[in-house]
Chain A
Amino acid sequence: MSTHHIKLTINGQAAEADVPARTLLVHFIRDTLSLTGTHIGCDTTSCGACTVLINGRPTKSCTLLAVQADGAEITTVEGLAQGGQLHAIQEGFHQCHGLQCGFCTPGMMLSSVALLKENPSPSEDEIRWGLSGNLCRCTGYVNIVKAVQYAAEKMQA
C-alpha cells in the first residue's frame, strides 16, 4: 500500500505525517495526533459523532481519507476554547444542559459552530435542520436547540 506525506493545520497548529493511503481522517486525528475528542459512532456517515470542521465546513471524518485533508485547515473540539476561555457554543451547552453522556457533543458543537457562521440567528427549525446530521440519544435535542440559541445570542452581543 502506498504511503503519502500530508501536511495540514489542526486547531491552528501545523501537523505533518506519512500516512498509508487508506487511513481514515478520524483515525489520523485520534490515533496519530492523539486528539481523542473526535469520536466514532457508526462508520457510515450517519451519526455525526466524528464531525470536524475542514476549512470551516462541518465534515464527517469517519468516511474521509486523511490524504483528502492534505493542506486543509481542521478544527476539532480541542480547538474551540481559546486562551482558556470556552467558546460560546461550549458555554451554551453547559448552561443549557445540552449534553449528557458527552459522546455526540463534540460533533454536535462543531456542526452548531458551522451553522451559526452561515446563519447567525437561526430559527428553531433552522437549528433542528442544521443539526439533523448529528444524532444524540440522550437529550431529546430540546436543550441542544437552547444551547445553540444561547450561543447565537452571545456571539451577536
Chain B
Amino acid sequence: MAEINGLGHSMKRKEDPRFLQGKGNYIDDIKLPGMLWLGIVRSPYAHARIKNIDTSKAAKIPGVAGFVTGKDLEKYNLHWMPTLMGDTQMVLPVDTVKYQAQEVVAVIATDRYAVADGVAAVEVEYEPLPVVVDPYKALEPGATKVRDDKQSNHIWHWGAGDEAATAQAFEAAATVVKEHIYIPRIHVASIETCGCLANWDPINKHLDMYMTTQAPHAIRTVLALVAGHVGLSEENIRVISPDIGGGFGGKVPVYPGYVIAVAASVLLGKPVKWIEDRSENLQADSFARDYHIDAELAADKDGRITAMRMKTLADHGYSDSQAAPSKFPAGLFSIATGSYDFQKAFVEVDAAYTNKPPGGVAYRCSFRVTEAVHAMERLVDIMAHERGEDPAAFRMKNFIRPEQFPYHSALGWEYDSGNYHAALQKAMDMIGYADLLKEQTEKRARGEFMGIGISSFTEIVGAGPSSQFDIIGIKMFDSAEIRIHPTGKAIARFGTKSQGQGHETTYAQIIAEELGIPAEHIKVEEGDTDTAPYGLGTYASRSTPTAGAAASMAARKIREKARKIAAHLLEAAEEDLVWDTNKFYVKGSPDKAKTIQEIAFAAYTNHPQGMEAGLEAVNYYDPPNLTFPFGSYICVVDIDRGTGQVKVRRFVAVDDCGTRINPMIVEGQIHGGLNMGFAPAMMEEMQYDEHGNITGGTFMDYLLPTAVESPRWELGETTTPSPHHPIGAKGVGESATVGAPPAFANAVVDALWHLGVRHVDIPITAPKVYDLLKKHGAALEE
C-alpha cells in the first residue's frame, strides 16, 4: 500500500521525473504544423515620433510572410489595450514610441532565422522627442508630457491612515527619524523568457492560445473582453499555460507580443509563435518596485514607537500597467506598519508617468509589500541606533504581542495570527546574537567593520476576500475540482498555475490528508482553461491560501458524501460512523469499516438508491481574510575597507508560514525567496541614463546571483497556524524575498553607523560602499 503522505510529509515531488529527463513541456517546446514565427522591431529611442516605416527590403527576404504595424491594428481598434489598473497601453504604436525597446513593427516569417533577418531589415525613421526619465522632474510644472491623452504626468494619488492624528503624534514624539529610501527598479528575470503560440482556426472561430501565463483564466476573459468585437468569444478561446520556467510575477501581465501574435494568427490563418529573447525580456517586460519613499518614524521617551508616516513617489513608466487588485493602486503598501504595535500612521503614494517601460509587477512579492517592509525595517533600525538601543531589544519592546491577535493595524488590516517574539528569539539563538555583539565590539576596536542586521517582517498574502479584492471586476477566489475514480484514484484540477512551486505534489498532499487517498494516486492538473475550474491564478503567494483551501473544502464535501455511502454499505446510521485517516468505521466496532477506496468503488457500482452516482466535488474558495506570514532574519556581514566588498558571513532566516504542507518544498521556497531578496539588496538594478537608455539590458549587465555569490542560507521555523484557513496554512513563496533585503541593508549600516553612516540604498554594491567608506575617511587606500 502506498503511503498517504498527507500534511507535514516531505514527499519527493511528483513533477520531477519529466523535468529531470528533459521531458518538460515549455512554451518553446511546442510546435504546430505550418507554424510561423513572430519577431518584433523595437524602438532605439525612449521617446520619438515615427516618421516612416519601410518594410520593402524586409519583405524580399526569403521566408518573410508579413508584417503587423500599429496602423494595421488601428483598423480593428486593437492598437491599444486596457491595463488591469484602468489605464491604456499600446499594442503597437501608430505615431509615437514612449520607451526604449517598445514594440514598433512585428515581422512574421517561416522560421526563427528568417524572422530575425526580417526584423533587422525593417527600416524605421524616427524623430526623437524630449525625454522624461526622473519621476520627480516629471511632476514639475512645465515638464514634457509623456502621454498626450492625459492631463499631466501625475497618474493618481492614494493614501491610507489618519493624517492629522499622525501629525499630532509626530509633534508629541520624543524622537523622530527620517530617511529618503529608494527601492530601485528591478526585473524578475525568470530563466525562461515569455512567449506564446497563437493558433486561430478560422472555420470554427476558435483560438488555442499557448502562453507563459500565471493566470490563464483571467487571460481568457481579458481576450474575450478586448477582442470580442473582432470575433473572439470566450467559449472559443482556450488558454493553455504549459510548464512555466519561473514566473515570480513577470508572467502575470498581458504583453503586446501576445496580442500581436493573436492578431497575426487571425490575419494569416496560421499558428504564430512568439518567443522573447533575453534582451527583450529584460528591456520591455514589466519591471518591479521603483518606489521613492520619504519615511518617518516617531517614538516616545521610552523608545516605544508612536507613529509612522511615508510619502512615496512611484515611477510607473509610460502606462500604469501594474498587475494589482483593482481597488489597490499602491498594492498592499499599507502593510507598512509591519510587526509593531502603534496606532498612528499615514501613508500616501503619488504615481508618475516617465519614458520607461510600463509595469509595476511584483518581483516575487504580494503587491508592493517589499517596498513597505523595506522602508519600515530601515526606519526601525535607524530609530534603535539613533536612541542607542540594541535593534533586537528595540524590536522585542515594540512587537505586537501574541495575545493581541487578531490584531487591528493602524492602516486597517486584521492580522490573523502571529508570535513575533518567538521568531526573533529563535533567530537570535540560532545565530548566537550575544556572541556576535561581543565580536563586533572587539573588531571595531581593531578597525574591522562587521555588521549585524535584523529584519522582522510581516507579510500580507492570499488575495483575497471578495469584499475587497478583484481583478477587472472578477473576485479573487480560487478553485478546486476533485473527481474520485472507481478504483479509488483521483484527478484534481485547479484555477492556479505552478511555475515551479510544486502544486502537483502539495495539492495532492492536501487532498490525501482530507481523504486518505495516497498523494501519489492523485493527479493534479492546472493551466488548461477548457478543463480547469475558473481561478485567478498563481501570484502574491495566493495558491495555498485560496486554491489550497479550495482543495480542502472540496475534499471535505466528498468525505460527506462518502459517509453516506459508507453508512449504506455498513448498514449503519451516518452519525454512528467515525472517520479515521482513510476509512469510516462504526463507533465501537473498528473492524466494521469501509476504506475510501471501497467507498469510491461503491459510488459507481453500488450507490444507495436515490443518491447520485459518482464521487466528485468543486469548491470556489473565497477567503474570509488575508493571511499574514511573518519571520525574523539576521544577517552578519564583514566589510572590506580596501574594496567596499560586503561579505555575507551568515544569514539565519526563521519563517512562520503557519502549517507546512510539505516541509521540503517550503524550505525550497524559502531558499529561493531569500536569493531573490539577496539579489536586489546586493546586485540587481535596472538603470537608465538621462536619455532613457537602459544600461542593464542583458545578463552581462544585469547580474543575477550565481551559486558563488549566493549566501549559504540557514533556516529555522516557528509554526503559528492561520485561524481562518482550513488547514492553517498561510503561503510562503514570497516571504523571504520581502523580508530579506532590509536585513542586508541594516547589517551594512550597522557596520558603518559609528562612522556616521545612517542609510544606504540597495543594491549595496562594492563601489557604493567604498564611496561611503571614503566619504567618512575609513577607506583603506593604497
Contact = CB atoms under 8 A, between A and B. Distances in A.
A101 B21 contact: no
Interface string A75-94: 01110110000100010011
A36 B13 CA distance: 22
A145 B707 contact: yes
A38 B245 CA distance: 13
Interface in B90-116: 112-113
Contact of B28 (A35, A40, A139, A143): A40
Contacts of B112: 27
Interface string B649-686: 00000000000000011011001111110000000000
B22 A78 contact: yes
B24 A137 contact: no
A101 B707 contact: no
Given A46-B700, A128-B708, A132-B708, A99 B19 contact: yes
A66 interface: no
Contacts of A49: 191
A90 B22 CA distance: 11
A148 B317 CA distance: 43
Contacts of B707: 127-129, 131-132, 134, 136, 141, 144-145
A142 interface: yes
Contacts of B192: 39, 41, 101, 103
Given A86-B20, A137-B704, A94 B13 contact: yes
Contacts of A101: 190-192, 243-247, 499-500
Contacts of A134: 706-707
A32 to B, nearest CB: 11
A119 interface: no
Contact of B12 (A35, A95, A131, A133): A95
A101 B244 CA distance: 7
Interface residues of A, number: 57
A78 B21 CA distance: 6
Contacts of A41: 191-193, 245, 278
Contacts of A23: 113
Chain B interface bracket (under 10, 10 to 19, 20 to 34, 35 or more): 35 or more
A100 B502 contact: yes
A140 B675 contact: yes
A142 B676 contact: no
Interface of A is mostly: loop
Contact of B191 (A103, A127, A128): A103
Contact of B278 (A20, A44, A86): A44
Contacts of A39: 26, 28, 191-192, 245
A17 interface: no
A120 B26 CA distance: 33
A100 B672 contact: yes
B363 to A, nearest CB: 11
B449 interface: no
B672 A138 contact: yes
Interface in B681-721: 698-700, 704, 706-708, 710, 712-713
A144 to B, nearest CB: 7
A93 to B, nearest CB: 6
B113 A102 contact: no
Contacts of B706: 128, 131-135, 141
A140 B671 contact: yes
A43 B706 CA distance: 17
B189 interface: yes
B277 interface: yes
A22 B113 contact: yes
A105 interface: yes
A39 B698 CA distance: 17
Contacts of B113: 20, 22-23
A156 to B, nearest CB: 21
Interface in B1-34: 12-13, 15-24, 26, 28-29
25 contacts: A36-B22, A36-B26, A42-B699, A44-B278, A46-B278, A46-B698, A46-B700, A94-B20, A100-B668, A101-B243, A102-B18, A102-B245, A103-B26, A103-B246, A109-B20, A128-B707, A128-B710, A132-B706, A132-B707, A132-B708, A137-B190, A137-B248, A141-B706, A141-B707, A143-B671
Given A101-B499, A140-B671, A141-B671, 10 more contacts: A35-B22, A44-B278, A46-B698, A97-B664, A101-B192, A103-B191, A105-B20, A137-B676, A139-B668, A143-B671
